[in-house]
């Protein structure tokens, strides 16, 4: 039970406890006490490279579709590159969602 009245929003989670599980191991003393993840940089990089890798996946897929048998590079290579670009784009989407959730939690505007 929380001592706060019902409907009162929780204070934002501090950066040290903003992970889904919390601290994974005790501090060893060698890392800075105020170390923070560069969330805004991750947001910027994911936002920039998401459309780049989506476009690359689409272009390689179209190239693979248009390439004939015995073409160079081989169709299987183009399909593999397109799949890798799509996987990286998916990871960028996941990272965007995680970063946005953590930033909202820090600001106290999370659900």
Q: Does pLDDT of 37 surpass 80?
A: no
Distance, in Å, from the CA atom of 16 to the CA atom of 33, rounded to the nearest integer, reads: 9
Residue 85 vs residue 67, higher pLDDT: 85
Neighbours of 102 (CB within 10 A): 20
pLDDT of residue 108: 79
User: Tokens representing 11?
Assistant: 């204070």
pLDDT tens, position by position, 55-80: 999 999 999 999 888 888 999 999 99
State residue 99's pLDDT score.
93
- pLDDT tens, residue by residue, 4-27: 556 656 565 555 554 555 555 666
What are the structural domain ranges in the chain?
Answer: 37-107
CB 10 within 8 A of CB 4: yes
């Amino acid at each position: 039970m929380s001592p706060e009245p019902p409907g009162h929003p929780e204070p934002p989670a501090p950066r040290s406890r903003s992970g889904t599980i919390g601290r994974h191991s005790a501090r060893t003393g060698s890392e800075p006490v105020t170390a923070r993840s560069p969330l805004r940089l991750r947001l910027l990089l994911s936002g920039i490279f998401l459309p780049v890798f989506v476009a690359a996946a689409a272009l390689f897929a179209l190239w693979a579709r248009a390439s004939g048998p015995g073409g160079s590079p081989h169709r299987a290579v183009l399909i593999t590159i397109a799949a890798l670009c799509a996987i990286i784009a998916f990871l960028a989407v996941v990272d965007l969602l995680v970063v946005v959730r953590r930033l909202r939690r820090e600001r106290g505007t999370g659900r």
